[in-house]
């Protein structure tokens, strides 16, 4: 089945909808974005009840902020890595470090602000472990895989056709980067580089970042110094 991919901007964040037999959503956007989301669904002509799964790449407010309302609206199930469950259930925030000079300068004040942003808490329906979670039950050839580094429980959706939805394993554009590449903030950038090696060796072609527009894996290869 030919999959269709839609990018949905819910605040600073790029969420994605993948339509196979069912529709799955990657990330739940910033807080209070249900209204925008409803509008977008009308424009792209997706029935809310067709969305069966919301995969949260990690627990940060800009990726999980409207997840609860979107679940209530669509009836979809929410999946997140088991190690980030407590942050969406009880609050608190995993604070990543600045990776580059811009990141190091902006991290202290930016995350002091971010730390104070709260969003409606919820209990996830599906807890992802370190093992791949297949998506064929949704009519989508691909897997959810554990890709730690931005946060310890960051996960990605990798389609067999080469599209990678990677949350904050990559950034492309304001306010985090001006051009596509590695994220500006990460708990462990070396772990992210290891994940990229695995994804590149596995044949990923197109990268769909958590912030900004999709870009070719060739750009990532270049910034990692691959030939």
Where are any strands of DSSP class E within 152-193?
155-159, 163-167, 171-172, 180-181, 185-186
Q: Work out how close the CB of 97 gets to Zn ion at its nearest, in angstroms, rounded to a whole number.
A: 12
Q: Work out how close the CB of 211 gets to Zn ion at its nearest, in angstroms, rounded to a whole number.
A: 6
Q: Work out how close the CB of 60 gets to Zn ion at its nearest, in angstroms, rounded to a whole number.
A: 4
Interacting residues toward Zn ion by CB under 5 A: 60, 62, 168, 210
**HSE toward the beta carbon, residue 203, CA cutoff 13 A:** 5
Q: Work out how close the CB of 31 gets to Zn ion at its nearest, in angstroms, rounded to a whole number.
A: 13
Q: Which is nearer to Zn ion, 112 or 137 (CB)?
A: 112
DSSP class per residue in 69-120: HHHHHH--EEEEEGGGHHHHHT-----PEE-SHHHHHHHHHHHHHHTT----
Q: Which is nearer to Zn ion, 52 or 177 (CB)?
A: 177
Q: Which is nearer to Zn ion, 122 or 138 (CB)?
A: 122
Report the C-alpha gap between 217 and 200 in whole angstroms: 8
Which of 61, 56, 59 shows the shortest CA–CA distance to 12? Answer: 61
Q: Work out how close the CB of 154 gets to Zn ion at its nearest, in angstroms, rounded to a whole number.
A: 8
Q: Nearest residue by C-beta to Zn ion?
A: 60
| Coarse DSSP helix, strand, coil percentages of the chain, rounded to the nearest 5 percent | 30, 25, 40
Q: Which is nearer to Zn ion, 155 or 168 (CB)?
A: 168
Backbone angles phi, psi at 161, to 5 degrees: -80, 0
Q: Which is nearer to Zn ion, 46 or 186 (CB)?
A: 186
CA–centroid distance for 148 within its chain: 12
């Amino acid at each position: 089945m030919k999959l269709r991919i839609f990018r949905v901007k819910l605040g600073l964040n790029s969420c994605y909808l993948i339509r196979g037999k069912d529709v799955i959503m990657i990330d739940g956007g910033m807080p209070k974005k249900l209204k925008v989301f409803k509008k977008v669904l009308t424009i792209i002509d997706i029935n809310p009840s067709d969305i069966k799964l919301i995969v949260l790449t990690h627990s940060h407010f800009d990726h999980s902020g409207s997840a609860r309302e979107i679940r209530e609206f669509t009836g979809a199930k929410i999946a997140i890595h088991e190690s980030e469950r407590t942050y969406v259930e009880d609050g608190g925030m995993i604070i990543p470090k600045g990776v580059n000079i811009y990141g190091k300068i902006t991290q202290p004040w930016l995350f002091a602000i971010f730390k104070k942003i709260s969003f409606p808490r919820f209990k996830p329906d599906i807890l992802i472990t370190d093992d791949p979670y297949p998506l064929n039950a949704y009519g989508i050839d691909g897997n959810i895989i554990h890709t730690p580094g931005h946060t310890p429980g960051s996960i990605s959706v990798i389609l067999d056709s080469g599209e990678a939805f990677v949350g904050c394993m990559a950034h492309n554009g304001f306010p985090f980067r001006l051009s596509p590449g590695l994220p500006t903030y990460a708990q462990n950038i070396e772990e992210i580089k290891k994940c990229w090696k695995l994804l590149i060796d596995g044949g990923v072609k197109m990268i769909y970042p958590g912030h900004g527009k999709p870009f070719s894996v060739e750009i990532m290869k270049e910034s990692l110094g691959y030939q």
